[in-house]
Structure 1
Amino acid sequence: MEHLEIERKFLVVSEAYKKDATSETRIVQGFLNTAPERTVRVRIKGNKGYLTIKGKGNESGTTRFEWEKEISFKDATNLIDLCEPGILEKIRFEVPAGEHLFEIDEFLGENEGLVVAEVELQNEDERFDKPDWLGDEVTGQIKYYNSQLTKKPFINW
């Protein structure tokens, strides 16, 4: 199926990744819909806007439908105002490791202290290098989904 996202998610156990980061970008995002069957996300990443629709994950939580389109910064800003309560803010670091690129999110605000790494794969069984700063895998654990962090922030765990 076209538009499938295959990714694994991990906790991060040290800041050692920062020395290898190739970019650092502030992200603000909200959700127009957080139903498990379909989330609709509005994101401002740097000075660009995005609208993303994600479907429900498979049994392992590794694979799900994802559709994303770039929208204007102004449209994204206006749509953020329509989002459900709980706007997320985070700093995203992109860190190459072996043949893959990890996206590490340092959450801010009510989710401060939570640092999560994601790696996108071509298939669920694909092997990848696991850097020393990678901790426990949390793929498929719903409480780590961004849509859920808006409802039950890390500060309340």
Structure 2
Amino acid sequence: MGVEIERKFLVDHAMWQKLDKPPGVHYQQGYIVSDENCTVRIRVTDAHGFITLKGRTSGITRSEYEYEIPVADGLEMLKKFAKNGTEKIRYRIPLGGFTWEVDEFLSDNEGLLIAEIELKSENDKFEKPEWITRDVTDDMRYANSNLATLPYREWPENK
């Protein structure tokens, strides 16, 4: 069974801009299904396409199944089937035996920086980089599928 155990954090913009980081990868992603029980996502980069199915979250754990698909198929699925989506640049930062994935959102979510860390168990201890700020794991507004329907720019506090 595929499992995802993940924590999410906001990123300090000023510190992030000063950080020496690897090149990022541009992602387009769209959602075919997105509700509290199931999410079906298509994700495409220049070199890879993926279809991902995610189940309901319990704590910080949920079932996840991800399969590589041809980029051309992914682009066609985004165009034909995705109801909404997000766009971002993702940076992968190794630290302390884990990899932090930092998403710099574009378009309607521009200005949002989220760092995610995937764990092997809910009790894993990990080092937080100095550019990490608030834990938003339990704030569902920051879920990518929710950012696709209610973008960051449209949040009342950001208008």
Q: TM range, normalised to the smaller chain?
A: over 0.9
Off by >4 Å, runs of 4+ in structure 1: none
- Mapped to 1, the partners of 2:113 and 2:81 lie a distance apart of 23
- 1:70 alignment partner in structure 2: 68
Normalising to structure 1: TM-score of the pair?
0.92
Is the CA contact (8 Å cut-off) linking 1:94 and 1:104 kept in structure 2?
A: yes
Is the CA contact (8 Å cut-off) linking 1:17 and 1:95 kept in structure 2?
A: no
Root mean square deviation, CA, Å: 1.4
- The alignment status of 1:131 with 2:126, answered yes or no, reads no
- Mapped to 2, the partners of 1:108 and 1:86 lie a distance apart of 14
- 2:56 alignment partner in structure 1: 56
Is the CA contact (8 Å cut-off) linking 1:39 and 1:54 kept in structure 2?
A: yes
- Mapped to 2, the partners of 1:122 and 1:17 lie a distance apart of 26
- 2:6 alignment partner in structure 1: 7
**Structure 1 stretches of 5 or more lacking a match?**
none
- 1:111 alignment partner in structure 2: 109
- Mapped to 1, the partners of 2:83 and 2:152 lie a distance apart of 15
- 2:46 alignment partner in structure 1: 46
CA gap of 1:6–1:56, structure 2 versus 1, over 3 A, is: same
Normalising to structure 2: TM-score of the pair?
0.91
1:45 CA displacement: 2.1
SS in 1 for 2:128: coil
Is the CA contact (8 Å cut-off) linking 1:32 and 1:82 kept in structure 2?
A: no
User: Residue deviations 1:58-107, cap 9 Å, x none?
Assistant: 0x2x1000000000011101100123443211000001122111000000
- 1:153 alignment partner in structure 2: 151
Percent identity over paired residues: 38
- Mapped to 2, the partners of 1:120 and 1:15 lie a distance apart of 24
1:20 CA displacement: 4.4
Moved more, 18-27 or 2-11: 18-27
